[in-house]
Structure 1
C-alpha cells in the first residue's frame, strides 16, 4: 500500500506545470554551478578559488546547489498531498481500507521524496553534461559524480519531503502560514548551516574542509576565505586547484543516517494530528475554505450591461468597499493586533530615518491577505455585471490594504519632507497588490506570490538596492508605478481571456 501511494503521488505530481517549472529551474541552476573559466560569477563560493571541473567537483558543487534550491522550491511542489486527497474525495475511499495513519503518511513521504529524487536525477545528468561541455577534465568517474547527489542532496530533500507531510497535518501550518514558516525556516537554516552551526544538513562543512586542505597544498594560502552556496560576482579571475574529492568519513555518513532517521520520524509524527479523513474533523476546515466568512453587509449591484473599460461608475466606492471587506474576511484579531503593534513602533521610533527601515516590516505583515487576490471565488462579486470594474475594484482594495498597513511610515516620510520616499511609497502601494493579483490570477494559487514576494522582501532586507522599490534609493518610482499599471492591465486581459473561454 505504501508503494502504491508513493507511485500514485509521483505520477500525479510529475504531470503538473509546477513540477516542470522547478525541474527546469534546477537544470538551469546546474548550468550556473559550473560557469565558464573566464566568468566572474559563481554559485559555490570558495574565496578566490575554484576546483577544476572533474567529476567529483562537478557533482559535488551541483549537488550542493540543488540541495539548497530544491529544499525550498521542492517543498511547495509536494506540500499538498494530503489536501489533494481531501479535496478530490480519494481520502474517503482510503478511509474505508485497513490503511492506518502512519503507513498512509509514510506513503505520502515516499511519494514526496520520489518527486524530489527525480529532480535530483535531472541535476546529476546536468552535471555530467556540463563537465563534458567545459572540457577541463573529460574523464568521467561515475562514483565521484553520483555520490554527492546520493549522500548530500537526497538526505536534505528527505527532510523537505517529511516537513511537507508534517506541515499538512499540524493545525495552523496547513494553510499559507505554513508556507511562510517554511520559507523563514529555510532562510534561517541555510544561513546558520553555511556559518557552520548545528547539524550539517548539506554536508558543506566536510566539503569545505577537504577543499581547504587542497587549496593550502596547491597554493600554500593559509588565509581564511569566504564560503557558501549562492550566486555572487568576483572582481578577479578565480584560481583553479585540483580537488581530490575526499570528504566522506565516518562522521559524514553518520550525519546522513541521522538526517534520514529524523525525516522518517517527522513524517510519521504527523499521525498525532492526522484526522484520517474523518468528516467530523475535516468538514469544518473544508467548509471554511470553500465558503469564507462573508462580511455583514448587504450587497446590491445595479443590473447594467458589461462595461467596455475598467471604470467603476457611480457604484464604484461601494464596490471597492465590498471588495476590501471580502479580502479581509476571516482575518483574526491577532492580525489586527500585530498591525497595531507595528504601527505603534513606527510612530514612536525616535529616528527620522526609521520610516524606510520599518516600511518593509509593515509591508510583509499582509502577505497572506495579498496572496488572496485573484484566487478567491466570491460568487456575489463575480455576478457583478461590470467585469472589468470588478477587476479594478479588487486591485484598489489591495491598494487600500497596502496603504492601511503602511500609513504610519508614510506620515513619517511626509513629516520629514522626503518627497522621493513618499513617491517610492506610493509606487510600492500600487505595485505589491498588482503583482499579487497577477500571480493569483495566472496560477489560481496563493503560493507563487507568497514565495516570490518573501524572497524579494528578503533580498531587500539584505541590501538589494536595485530591486528595493520601497526605498528612495531604489528604482525610479515612476518606473515602479508604470510596472504596477502594466501588471494590472495584464491581469485584466488574462481575466477577460479566461472569461471568454468559458
Structure 2
C-alpha cells in the first residue's frame, strides 16, 4: 500500500470511529428525507414551475444528489475542516514530518480523506432515497444506475470542491481562524445562488443541464428548502442527459478541486522544524496571554494558596464576575471589528428595525463563539464556588454583547411603541448567547457555533419565518414567527443544558 493510500485510509478510519460520525450519518438521513418528502407536503427542495417528478429511482437520485450538492457543501465544510489541526493536536504531524512523506502527498491524502467522509454521507443519502422511493409508493421499480448517476455527476464534483476548500482554509494562515468559518458561509451563498444559473462557469452545480428535462410549462426553477402554497403536480422525469459537454464540465470541476487541494504545497510545509518552533512560540505566547488573563481577573476568581479549593475572596462578587466575563469575551477584538460594528449599526438606520437587527446580530458571531469554550481559564474558574453564578455571568456577557450590537433597532422600536418587536428583540438577545454557550460547553470548540449560527441566520433572512428567533421578518408581511416567550423558553432550556454539563464536570473534580 502506498504512503498516500495508507494516509488517506488511516485518516478516514480514525474519523469514522468517532461518535460524531454517527451523528453525521443521522443528519444525512434527515437530509434525504427532506429531499424526498411525502406527496402531500408543502416543503420541497426542487420546484419546477409548480411541478416535481414522480418518485422513480432516477428522480429521487436527482433530488438527493442536488441536496447533497447544495447542503453538504455547507455543513460538510465544517465537518471535515479539522484534518490538519487534529494532526497538530495529537502530535501525528510532527511524526509525519520526520519521515520521507512529501507535502503534496500529505495534502492529497487529507483531500481524499475529506472526500471519503463527505462521500459516505452522500452514500447514506442515496440509500435513504431508495428506501423512501419504496415507502412513498409512486414507483417501486428500482434502477440502481439511474439512482446513482446524479450522484456521480452532480454531487461528487461539488463535494470534491468542498473537501479541497476545507483543506485550503486549514493550511492558509488568515483562513484557518474563525474568520474563515464565517467567510465560507458567504462563499457558499454566492456559489449556491450563482451556481444555479445556466451561464455559471463549468455548469455551476449542474442545474442548468436540467432545463431541457423539465415540463415545457416550467417557467421557473427553484432549488433549496422552500415552502409552496399547494402540493406540487407531478410529471415523468426522463433522466439526466449525459452529453459530452456536460460530462467534460463535471470532470473539469473535479480536476480543479484536486488542484486547489494541492495548491497549499506552495506555502504549507507541514510540521517541519521551523513550523514546530513557530508553534512553540505561539504556545508560549498563548500561555503568557492566559497568565495575563488570570492576573486581570477580579478577586472572586483568585484562589489563595493554603485555602480550600472552594474558597474565594469575599466581596461584591456578582458585578466583578460579570465585568470579568465581559472582558474575557471582548478580549483581543481588533479595531476593525469595532469599526465594522459601528458601520453596520449606521447602515441599519436605512433599513426597518427587523432587517437592521439581522445585520447587527451576524457581526459578533466570532465573539459569541467563545462562550463555553474557555480552556485556559478552566482550571482557574473551576475553583469558583458557584458554577451556576459563573455560567450566568458568562451568559449575561453574551446578552450584553447582543444588546450593544442591536441597540439602535431596539431604540427605534421603543420610539415607535413596537412592543411585540421589543419582546422579540429581548428573546433573541437571550437565545443567541444561550445557543453559543450550550454548543461551546458541549463540544468545547468555537467552530460548532460558527457553523450552526450563520446557517440559522441565513435561513431566517431567506424567509423561513418558523426559525425567526429575533423578529427580523415581522415587518415584511411574512407569517408570524415563533412567539417571544417560546424563544425565551428555548434559551432557558439551552442554558439548562450548559449548566447540567458544567455541573457534571464540576462534580467529577
TM-score by length of 1: 0.90
RMSD of aligned residue pairs (Cα, Å): 2.5
Give runs of aligned pairs for residues 116-135 of structure 1, distance below 5 A: 116-135=118-137
Give runs of aligned pairs for residues 355-374 of structure 1, distance below 5 A: 355-374=353-372
Distance 1:446 1:144, change over 3 A: same
Aligned match for 1:204, one of 207, 215, 223: 207
Cα separation, 2, equivalents of 1:239 and 1:297 = 65
- What do residues 358-397 of structure 1 show as CA deviations (whole Å, max 9, x unaligned)? 1111111110111111111213333323222111111111
Does 2:254 align with 1:252?
Answer: no
User: Structure 2 stretches of 5 or more lacking a match?
Assistant: 475-480
Following superposition, the deviation at residue 432 of structure 1 comes to: 1.2
Contact 1:33 1:42 in 2 (8 A): yes
Distance 1:105 1:392, change over 3 A: same
DSSP-derived class of the 1:107 partner: helix
| Other-structure match for 1:53 | 55
Cα separation, 2, equivalents of 1:290 and 1:26 = 40
Cα separation, 1, equivalents of 2:19 and 2:287 = 24
| Other-structure match for 2:298 | 299
DSSP-derived class of the 2:362 partner: coil
Cα separation, 1, equivalents of 2:496 and 2:133 = 44
Distance 1:319 1:36, change over 3 A: closer
Following superposition, the deviation at residue 194 of structure 1 comes to: 2.0
Does 2:102 align with 1:100?
Answer: yes
Contact 2:58 2:239 in 1 (8 A): yes
| Other-structure match for 1:69 | 71
Distance 1:24 1:322, change over 3 A: same
| Other-structure match for 2:316 | 314
Give runs of aligned pairs for residues 182-201 of structure 1, distance below 5 A: 182-199=184-201, 200-201=203-204
Contact 1:320 1:397 in 2 (8 A): yes
| Other-structure match for 2:336 | 334
Following superposition, the deviation at residue 72 of structure 1 comes to: 1.3
Distance 1:291 1:477, change over 3 A: farther
Aligned match for 1:242, one of 236, 242, 249: 236
Cα separation, 2, equivalents of 1:179 and 1:17 = 23
TM-score by length of 2: 0.88
User: Structure 1 stretches of 5 or more lacking a match?
Assistant: none
Cα separation, 2, equivalents of 1:160 and 1:269 = 14
Distance 1:143 1:487, change over 3 A: closer
Contact 1:306 1:387 in 2 (8 A): no
Cα separation, 1, equivalents of 2:168 and 2:156 = 18
Cα separation, 2, equivalents of 1:237 and 1:437 = 39
Following superposition, the deviation at residue 197 of structure 1 comes to: 4.2
Does 2:480 align with 1:482?
Answer: no
- What do residues 326-368 of structure 1 show as CA deviations (whole Å, max 9, x unaligned)? 112222121122122223444xx3x6x6333211111111101
Q: More deviation in 451-460 or 35-44?
A: 35-44
DSSP-derived class of the 1:194 partner: coil
Contact 2:196 2:206 in 1 (8 A): no
Cα separation, 2, equivalents of 1:339 and 1:48 = 41
| Other-structure match for 1:279 | 276
| Other-structure match for 2:477 | none
Contact 1:38 1:237 in 2 (8 A): yes
Contact 1:22 1:74 in 2 (8 A): no
Following superposition, the deviation at residue 288 of structure 1 comes to: 5.5
Cα separation, 2, equivalents of 1:438 and 1:179 = 19
